Structure 1
Amino acid sequence: MTPAINLAKKKKIPHTIHQYDHDPRSESYGLEAVQRLGLDANTVFKTLLYSTDGKEKELAVAVIPVNCKLNLKFAAKAAGKKKAEMANPDIAQKITGYVVGGISPLGQKKRLPTFIHESALQYDTIHVSAGRRGVEIELSANDLASIAQASFYCLCD
């Protein structure tokens, strides 16, 4: 079990766990999940951390479809900041307690402002990392937002 799965269970949120054998040579963790599990890429979301206003440790979380690119201007605006840039992976791992490629928006060591791309609301359920490479958790976008205390924003072009 991961902290993300344990949190979903504790909050009694309906969810399904999907697992696959992760290939360490895979270039995209999210697209690997799509291929290995036979999922619609629009329903598989990646968790990205970004720093705001030039402060390396002032982080926020963006949850976006794996086939989209984070618009840093939109991300900064969602966080109420002027500027955003991708977080240093070492800092992201230390603050969340998860490894890159397995960072979940749920069960992080430190609660960070979290924003989910608004397209998630189109689907009955979406898939996000469950906290380990090769493990996805499927749940409703509203349940994810509730547990992560997240808001919905346009985060991609």
Structure 2
Amino acid sequence: MIKTNAMRILDKMKVEYEVITYDVKDNKIDGIAVSKKIGREEKYVYKTLVTKGISKSIYIFLIPVTEEIDFKKVAKITNEKTIEMLDLSELQKYTGYIRGGCSPLGMKKQYKTFIHNSALELQTIIVSAGKIGFQIEINPNLLVDIVEGSFNDLIK
């Protein structure tokens, strides 16, 4: 079994999680496609969005795959005048991950992380394990503690 940085962190901390794999031969790696491939409702699958504020600070947002981030809300939460998606060309430089395999765990640096508060209604959520084709199912309360994050309203 392949172990990603995210999995090694959880193993070291003795945190309970489940690894879910999916086929990537068709190159469909977006969150909605992933939820279909793994046979789970979309509300359980969260995408990891990496953003940059006007201050050049990096912020991580986890939201359900069917939702859209509200940049006005997240700018207010982060005390930034404006916030935007990190350019994909910079993703690996800042996180160590590539598009489709960006986990909130095990980035090059632990950035300020926010999880949409809908996760509080769920026993587990599914996030990237840090490699395309691999997901982690984890209790959101454990995840928010590990990433030293918070639950907030982040979507439109």
Q: Assess same fold via TM > 0.5.
A: yes
Counterpart of 2:12, as a letter, is K
The alignment-based identity, stated in percent, is 37
Counterpart of 2:97, as a letter, is Y
Counterpart of 2:113, as a letter, is T
Counterpart of 1:8, as a letter, is L
- Number of the residue aligned with 1:43: 44
Moved over 2 A (4+): none
- Number of the residue aligned with 1:122: 121
Task: Decide whether the 8 Å contact of 1:64 with 1:117 is kept in 2.
Answer: yes
- Number of the residue aligned with 1:151: 150
Which of residues 5, 8, 27 is equivalent to 1:3? 5
- Number of the residue aligned with 1:137: 136
- Number of the residue aligned with 1:108: 107
- Number of the residue aligned with 2:69: 70
5+ long unaligned stretches in structure 1: none
What is the CA–CA distance in structure 1 between the aligned matches of 2:73 and 2:12, rounded to whole Å?
32
What is the CA–CA distance in structure 1 between the aligned matches of 2:77 and 2:40, rounded to whole Å?
28
Provide the alpha-carbon RMSD of the alignment: 1.2
Q: What's the offset of the Cα at 1:95?
A: 1.0
Task: Decide whether the 8 Å contact of 1:78 with 1:115 is kept in 2.
Answer: no
What is the CA–CA distance in structure 2 between the aligned matches of 1:23 and 1:52, rounded to whole Å?
35
5+ long unaligned stretches in structure 2: none
What is the CA–CA distance in structure 2 between the aligned matches of 1:25 and 1:7, rounded to whole Å?
27
- Number of the residue aligned with 1:61: 60
Task: Decide whether the 8 Å contact of 2:31 with 2:65 is kept in 1.
Answer: yes
* Count of aligned positions: 154
When normalised by structure 2's length, the TM-score is: 0.94
What is the CA–CA distance in structure 2 between the aligned matches of 1:42 and 1:65, rounded to whole Å?
6
When normalised by structure 1's length, the TM-score is: 0.93
- Number of the residue aligned with 2:14: 12
Counterpart of 1:88, as a letter, is D
Q: What's the offset of the Cα at 1:66?
A: 0.2
Task: Decide whether the 8 Å contact of 1:17 with 1:138 is kept in 2.
Answer: yes
Counterpart of 1:9, as a letter, is D
Counterpart of 1:43, as a letter, is Y
What is the CA–CA distance in structure 1 between the aligned matches of 2:59 and 2:26, rounded to whole Å?
27
